[in-house]
Amino acid sequence: MENHAKYKNFGNALRCPLCEESLQVVQSKSLICPNRHTFDISHHGYVNTLSHSPKSRYNKAFFEARKKIIMESELFKRLHEKISAIIDTYSADSDKPAFILDAGCGEGSHLEKILDNSRNETVTGIGLDLSKDGIAQAAKNYKHSIWLVGDLAKSPLADHSMNLILNIFSPSNYKEFKRILAPDGLIIKVVPRADHLKELRDAIHGIEENNLYKNDETISLFKKHFTLTDIITVTDARELDKSERTHLVQMSPLAWDSNEKALDAFITRSSQITIDADILIGLNQKETRL
């Protein structure tokens, strides 16, 4: 589908992040609001809704390494399969078109894999991220979804326009998520558990200091905003070869500012890598108490 046609079909789900009015496609190349705030559709089909790009350590190399691991290794396979199954169960009774937003999607590979596994063909994926590098990469590689550079704390999406929000290893803004979710919408948030990438944590922090990470506070906060319907734990371990372990280091904020010798030793020695995460499933039924 042509890029502008994609945005025409998606039209009502967008709003101007500056004045909150609706956005329309004009001249097949831009989105414009009644106050003439204009956002161009890029050559590869993404839209940048930010007036300036914040400097970030989430850069091209970080996202390229993430894509390699997410798409080419099987490290996240079980996590993807579980999430796709949740989406299929949730949407089983409906053949209406549904919008699934991945808030903080990075370079888009999780969304691509999850939608690929899902049997539901009425779904449109929307990826939103603060990083232009991440979104540019997503739009180049994955043509079916809609890709937006934007801030999840002030998103370019209309009230109650999304049926489901994914939020995978990324920050949240629950007030904003509640605004854009349909009244009976679902949120699926993935948070790491204590053993997540423990081989890399051990190499960086030493074994004694490890296992201190807890996600209880994240879960309590989630429960204040949404009706928690389930928590699914995904634990898996896979062998990664040396080049994959190099990518794992490059894709992990954990490794930022870490001792290079320790990282080299990790790349040379470890081969088994553990994934340990909770999938929180919440329904948008509750009034916000905060």
Ligand X SMILES: C[S@@+](CC[C@H](N)C(=O)[O-])C[C@H]1O[C@@H](n2cnc3c(N)ncnc32)[C@H](O)[C@@H]1O
Position 86: which residue type?
Answer: I
Site of interaction with Zn ion (CB under 5 A): 16, 18-19, 33, 35, 37
Residue 16 or 279 having the CB closest to Zn ion: 16
Q: Which residues are CB-contacts of 264 (< 8 A; sequence separation ≥ 6)?
A: none
DSSP H helical ranges for the chain:
3-10, 60-67, 77-90, 109-117, 132-141, 174-180, 198-205, 216-225, 242-250, 260-269
Which residue number, 25 or 280, has a Cβ lying nearer to ligand X? 280
Q: Least distance from C-beta 68 to Zn ion, angstroms? A: 38
Quote the least distance from Cβ 171 to Zn ion, whole Å.
Answer: 25
Which does residue 16 bind out of ligand X, Zn ion, none, counting CB within 5 to 8 angstroms by kind? Zn ion
Backbone φ and ψ of 199, nearest 5°: -65, -35
Measured from the CB atom, the residue of 56 and 288 that comes closer to ligand X is: 56
Nearest residue to ligand X, scored by beta-carbon proximity: 106
- Shortest approach of ligand X to residue 27 CB, angstroms? 28
How would you class 6 by CB atoms within 10 Å of its CB: exposed for 0-12, middle for 13-18, buried for 19 or more? middle
Residues 30-69 that bind ligand X (CB under 6 A): 56, 58, 66
161 CB-near residues (< 8 Å, 6+ apart) = 12, 13, 14, 99, 180, 182
Residue 66's binding partner out of ligand X, Zn ion, none, with CB under 5 to 8 Å set by partner kind: ligand X
Binding track over 153-182 against ligand X, x by CB under 6 A = x--------------xxxx-----------
152 is an interface residue for ligand X by CB under 6 A: yes
Instruction: State the Rg of the chain over Cα.
Output: 19
Site track 66-95 with ligand X (rule: CB under 6 A), x = hit: x-----------------------------
Give me the sheet containing 123-129, strands edge to edge: 47-48, 146-149, 123-129, 98-103, 162-168, 181-192, 272-283, 227-239
Q: How far is the CB of 21 from Zn ion (least distance, A)?
A: 5
Least spacing, CB of residue 254 vs ligand X, in Å: 10
Cβ 175 to ligand X shortest distance, Å: 13
**Residue ranges in 124-143 that form contacts with ligand X under rule CB under 6 A:** 129-131, 134
131 close to 106: Cβ distance less than 8 angstroms: yes
Per the DSSP assignment, residues forming a β-bridge with 279 are: 190, 232
Distance CA 289, CA 219 (A): 15
Strands 123-129 and 24-26: what pairing? unpaired
- Structure tokens belonging to residue 60: 């091209």
Instruction: Please report, in range form, the residues annotated as the binding site.
Output: 16, 19, 33, 37, 76, 107-108, 196
Binding site for ligand X (CB under 6 A): 56, 58, 66, 104-106, 110, 129-131, 134, 151-153, 168-171, 253
Instruction: Please report, in range form, the residues annotated as the binding site for S-adenosyl-L-methionine.
Output: 76, 107-108, 196
Instruction: Please report, in range form, the residues annotated as the binding site for Zn(2+).
Output: 16, 19, 33, 37
